[in-house]
Amino acid sequence: MASVKPMLPPASLVVVTQSERMRAILDRLQTIAASDTSVLLVGETGVGKELFADYIHRASPRRDRPFVKVALSAMPHELLESELFGHERGSFTNAIADKRGLFELAHTGTFFLDDLDDVVPGVQVKLLRVLEMQQVMRVGGSAPIPVDVRLITASKIDLEQLVARQLFRADLFYRINVCPVSIPPLRERREDVPLLAEYFLRRFAPQKELILSAEAKQALCHYDWPGNVRELRNVMQRLALFVEREVRPADLPSEIGGNAHVERLVRACGRCIIDGQMSYTDVVACLETNLLRQALADAGGNQSHAARALGLSLSTLRDKLHKFGLGDRHD
């Protein structure tokens, strides 16, 4: 049954999911949020790392204190130190007044640093100092300034890979990696796709009462969503603007509604499509067998989720599994 995971009162933020994997992550975040430890969120672009940082802050004892966010990849490197740590008047050209840095603005609250994998080595050293000493030194300053912040960081790649290539400081990695949380991409939790799609449709067009056709749901579930939740949200926002009642496959972008089934067939079994020696019956059996295997693998062995992704009833899926000797495991 679909569910919405609520924030702790009085926060109104919600995370929409029916994925057991995501529920386990949210339960873990509730425990982490109650502490003051550093958190490292790891996940592909668009999975919602900022949303989860928000979740942690608003479920924490610091919820009524400042929450400062910065996307490091969007900030010019030459301005990064001044923005993070502040500067003193006259410390460089155009420094006409003292400026508090973002760490100072986040004092007593939470500081979220996104795209940590893009931070240059010089700034990494200063970040480590802030975490170890709980103080910042402004650019051009001579006196340390105490800061009390709970740090949440995020990376779109595994930082251990950068450490191994000596592109990221090992000591900083171990300092921020106290509570790592890996957020799965949308293609690994396809059961959330229809739920999220309907949520976004209601959000962007509450007056229209839009619905998804069964075929549209199937196409959405079969698509791999390289842009993750962000891509799904943008697609639904576009549909909310132009569709009046029911969303059909023809309304979807061509890469989702037009070729999704063909791409899934090719991924499932390229051999039987190009092998001219196989009979029609053998090709169909080969394709169907591999589609079933692929759907089960995508669903982590959960037959209910696999049936939903294929647009089949659970009983039909189980009949086909028995027919092709793929086991009789039930959920």
Topology (CATH) of 188-323: Helicase, Ruva Protein; domain 3 (1.10.8)
Q: What is the pLDDT of residue 320?
A: 87
Strand partners, 15: 5
Parse the chain into domains and list their residue ranges.
Answer: 3-184, 188-323
Share of the chain above pLDDT 90, in %: 51
Residue type at 266? Answer: V
- The structural architecture, per CATH, of the domain 3-184 is 3-Layer(aba) Sandwich (3.40)
Higher pLDDT among residues 215 and 97, named by residue: 215
Q: What is the pLDDT of residue 272?
A: 63
Q: Per-residue pLDDT for 17 more than 80?
A: yes
Same fold: 3-184 with 188-323: no
Q: What is the pLDDT of residue 5?
A: 38
Q: What is the pLDDT of residue 267?
A: 56
Q: What is the pLDDT of residue 274?
A: 57
Q: Residue 102 contacts by C-beta under 8 Å, 6 or more apart in sequence?
A: 68, 70, 83, 84, 111
DSSP-assigned states of every residue in 73-84: GGS-HHHHHHHH
Strand partners, 154: 41
Distance CA 162, CA 240 (A): 41
Higher pLDDT among residues 312 and 11, named by residue: 312
pTM higher than the cut 0.85? no
Mean of the per-residue pLDDT values of the chain: 84
What is the mean pLDDT of the segment spanning 177-183?
95
Q: For residue 10, is the peptide bond before it cis, meaning its omega torsion is within 30 degrees of 0?
A: yes
What is the mean pLDDT of the segment spanning 259-282?
60
